[in-house]
Amino acid sequence: MAEDFPTLRISLERGVADVVIDHPPVNVLGVQFMTDVLHFLEKVRDDSAVRVIVFSSADPDFFIPHVDMTLVDDPAAFDGLAAKAPEGLNVFQAFGEAVRHQPQVTIVKLAGIARGGGAEFVAAADMAFAAIGRARLAQVEALMGITPGGGATQYLGQRLGRNRALEVVLGGDPVDAETAERYGWVNRALPADELDAFVDRLARNIAALPDGVIEAAKSAVPAVDPAEGFAREHQAWAGLIARPAAEKLIRGGLERGAHTREGELRLEELLRDLWEELEGRAGR
């Protein structure tokens, strides 16, 4: 199975599929990774042997840091995936909705950084559990001169409420595990050395439930339809991504270390420093 999904390591035991993201150097959300996840979800969609899917990362520092920023140089890279997206959704919204509407229970085990599209992935899953002292969540798009375009405005509006969603989207700073739990972004914040055991036990217990219980529960607790909100989100994102400021910030971020381990560990600071420098130049 691993040969079919080069960015994922997958194992199946007692109804639980463990999907470990392994896409060096930092697990950016790019075409290959998105393709692998979508193909895997489709492959197991009707597989009765898979009842729960747990997503984690092989990298202790990064879950998914954000969408591949080299999109700025190759905007057609996602065209193949975009062509398969349901009507009314852009490629990143379609990715999150594929996770959100998967018939199996989807769980994120978060022990590193999830920003931008990675944080949207976390919010799209049925459940998420975060390691205290290690997990961080952020919508970093504003620091790139854009707004989220993969579902965050809708997912976070529902989970956090409008006021906290705006704090996250416009503030741009990372949120620790305890704050994410308090805000409702994740189910629970757990001590790092307890995360694996807790999630593994929960996943096994869910997978062992009698036939029909998972399906009935997911049907009875319905996913809200954010179709109109997605249209507004895409319009806002598309209107900003084409502006010169966004291009300068994204290209500048890449030049200064985005996509490298060192740069990604301090990406927010890196982007803020870059914007201050660009503003200083404009004022001279």
Around Cβ 278, how many Cβ atoms within 10 Å?
Answer: 15
Q: Is the pLDDT of residue 7 over 90?
A: yes
Q: Is the pLDDT of residue 38 over 90?
A: yes
Separation of alpha carbons 140 and 174, rounded Å? 8
Which among 234, 208, 236 has a CA at the least distance from the CA of 96?
234
Query: Which residues does 170 contact at the CB level (< 8 Å), separation at least 6?
Result: 142
Q: Is the pLDDT of residue 282 over 80?
A: no
Going edge to edge, which strands form the sheet with 127-132?
8-13, 16-21, 52-57, 105-110, 127-132, 188-191
The DSSP bridge partners found for residue 29 are: 67
pLDDT in tens, 175-210: 999 999 999 999 999 999 999 999 999 999 999 999
Opening angle at CA 26, ends 79 and 238, nearest 5: 35
Separation of alpha carbons 64 and 79, rounded Å? 21
Question: What does the pLDDT average to over 66-84?
Answer: 92
Query: Which residues does 51 contact at the CB level (< 8 Å), separation at least 6?
Result: 15, 16, 104, 105, 206, 207, 209, 214
Q: Is the pLDDT of residue 84 over 70?
A: yes
pLDDT in tens, 94-119: 999 999 999 999 999 999 999 999 99
Query: Which residues does 130 contact at the CB level (< 8 Å), separation at least 6?
Result: 110, 111, 137, 177, 180, 181, 186, 188, 189, 190, 195
Tell me the C-alpha to C-alpha distance, in Å, between residue 74 and each of 22, 31, 79, 141, 266: 23, 11, 10, 18, 25
pLDDT in tens, 124-155: 999 999 999 999 999 999 999 999 999 999 99
pLDDT in tens, 157-174: 999 999 999 999 999 999
Place 80 in a pLDDT band, splitting at 50, 70 and 90: very high
Place 68 in a pLDDT band, splitting at 50, 70 and 90: very high
Separation of alpha carbons 173 and 175, rounded Å? 7
| Amino acid 75: pLDDT | 81
Which among 45, 1, 47, 42 has a CA at the least distance from the CA of 20?
1
For the chain, give the percent of residues with pLDDT over 70: 98
CA R_g for the chain? 18
pTM above 0.85, yes or no: yes
Contact 197, 111 (CB under 8 A): no
DSSP 25-90: TT--B-HHHHHHHHHHHHHHTT-TT--EEEEEESSSSEEE-SB-GGGGT-TTTTHHHHHTSPTT--
User: 75: cis peptide before it, omega within 30°?
Assistant: no
Opening angle at CA 109, ends 140 and 63, nearest 5: 40
Place 280 in a pLDDT band, splitting at 50, 70 and 90: confident
Contact 149, 241 (CB under 8 A): yes
Q: Is the pLDDT of residue 224 over 90?
A: no
CATH architecture of the domain formed by 2-207: Alpha-Beta Complex (3.90)
Average pLDDT of every residue of the chain: 95
| Amino acid 3: pLDDT | 62
Tell me the C-alpha to C-alpha distance, in Å, between residue 52 and each of 13, 108, 218: 10, 11, 12
Contact 44, 53 (CB under 8 A): yes
Place 1 in a pLDDT band, splitting at 50, 70 and 90: low
Place 2 in a pLDDT band, splitting at 50, 70 and 90: low
Alpha helices in 79-191 (DSSP H): 79-83, 91-100, 116-124, 152-160, 162-171, 177-183
| Amino acid 284: pLDDT | 53
The domain limits of the chain are 2-207
